Amino acid sequence: MRPTWDIFCSVVDNYGDIGVTWRLARQLVAEHDAAVRLWVDDLLAFARLCPAADVRVAQQSLQGVDVRQWPAPWLPVEAADVVIEAFACELPTAYVAAMARRARPSLWLNLEYLSAEDWVGGCHGLPSMQSTGLQKFFFFPGFRPETGGLLREAGLLERRRNFQQDPAARQAFLQRLGVAPLANARLISLFAYENCGLASWLDVLAAGCQPTHMLVPEGRVLGDVQAWLGVRSLTVGSLEVRGALTVQVLPFVTQDDYDRLLWSCDFNAVRGEDSFVRAQWAGRPLLWHIYEQQENVHLEKLEAFLALYTQGLSPAAGATLTALWQAWNHGEGVGESWLALQQAWPELAEHAEAWSLEQASQTDLAEALVEFYLNWL
């Protein structure tokens, strides 16, 4: 019998919650022969990542995943063997009761947000007793072996490498998006939240000697791009040139195409959680716009990641990368830090590849979840 999995996703904002759970659901089906239901409370957000989705239906099968509109009020169903509440979303009370009623109660996992902080390893896999008598386990993704790892599909790095070694594949992909960069242009993708530091970065790119082609998928940062360009509107397909800088607005593409976009670029500005991880798998230098949290908790997470990521770098390269990431996340001095970083470019490029290989030598998140379940049985 195929093990059954229920993944519950409540979309808080943006695309990270659904991005992670949709990716995980697909991988469990494709690589672990699991029967997966993905319960999502916002099909519109889901449809952005998976345009084949029909937002009007309560149930549909997509890439082998049984995608369900999370109904409100809840309609009783049988509980699955493994239940994942993503990012501490609250499960329906009746569903929790159904988990407890089973002959062998469900394995209940809370999939947490990604963090490189030290304490994560110590908390990964810890149980917490619930009033129903069920135990809930905390499952932490992470960058170290004592965590649950990162989402990484089988063969991902090989696919990425083949693509990056095949200029015709890259060109065909970019052409499909309507992108035709100059031969010597540096290609940058920009996926970020609103950022008042953007203007100084665009200033130095426009004033630079090397052409830069910046690709901006539709999203929250467009307002800042538009303000810097001084244009009335920016829509998908807009292309503006200022000095050495070309800015082009792209549509929001599927997750697989977004991977190809990251693989195609020389440098990727990413945000949140899932695009941040995907940019690491791209093996190219990156810039992370971390999701802002109350009381600046996010800045500790940023530092924790930087401390880990810069370990393999020379002090000078580590310092320039840290300065750029700090500037970006504080919204000031980005242009200056970008210029300072240029000297370290070859080292950063090499390090990005080495980092992706090192991370890929660890157990991936889906595999770690399956192992956790098998050990728990």
* Active site residues per annotation: 17, 273
According to DSSP, residue 2 is labeled: P
Distance CA 134, CA 84 (A): 14
Beta bridge partners of 239: 248
Beta bridge partners of 369: none
Contact 338, 263 (CB under 8 A): no
Contact 7, 34 (CB under 8 A): no
Position closest to ligand TRH via CB: 16
CA atoms within 13 A on the CB side of 135: 10
CB of 308 to ligand TRH, least distance (A): 18
Residue 364 binds ligand TRH (CB under 6 A): no
Residue 263 binds ligand TRH (CB under 6 A): no
CB of 46 to ligand TRH, least distance (A): 11
CB of 13 to ligand TRH, least distance (A): 5
Find the binder of ligand TRH among 148, 217, 285, 318 (CB under 6 A). 217
Contact 307, 228 (CB under 8 A): no
CB atoms inside a 10 Å sphere around CB 256: 12
Is the backbone peptide bond immediately before 211 cis, with ω within 30 degrees of 0?
no
Find the binder of ligand TRH among 211, 272, 285, 335 (CB under 6 A). 272
Give the chain's length: 377
Q: x/- binding map, residues 43-82, to ligand TRH, per CB under 6 A?
A: ------x---------------------------------
Q: Which of the stretches 37-45, 59-67, 142-150, 251-259 binds ligand TRH when contact is defined by CB under 6 A?
A: 251-259
As to burial, measured by CB atoms within 10 angstroms (0-12 exposed, 13-18 middle, 19+ buried), residue 153 is middle
Q: Which of the stretches 16-24, 225-233, 301-309, 340-348 binds ligand TRH when contact is defined by CB under 6 A?
A: 16-24
CB of 190 to ligand TRH, least distance (A): 9
Residue 12 binds ligand TRH (CB under 6 A): yes
What are the DSSP E strand ranges found in 104-164?
Answer: 107-111, 127-129, 135-139
Give the residue with the Cβ less far from ligand TRH, 82 or 253: 253
Angle at 264 between CA 331 and CA 269, to 5 degrees: 10
Q: Which of the stretches 6-14, 206-214, 224-232, 316-324 binds ligand TRH when contact is defined by CB under 6 A?
A: 6-14
Q: Which of the stretches 13-21, 26-34, 156-164, 201-209 binds ligand TRH when contact is defined by CB under 6 A?
A: 13-21
Binding residues with ligand TRH: total (CB under 6 A): 23
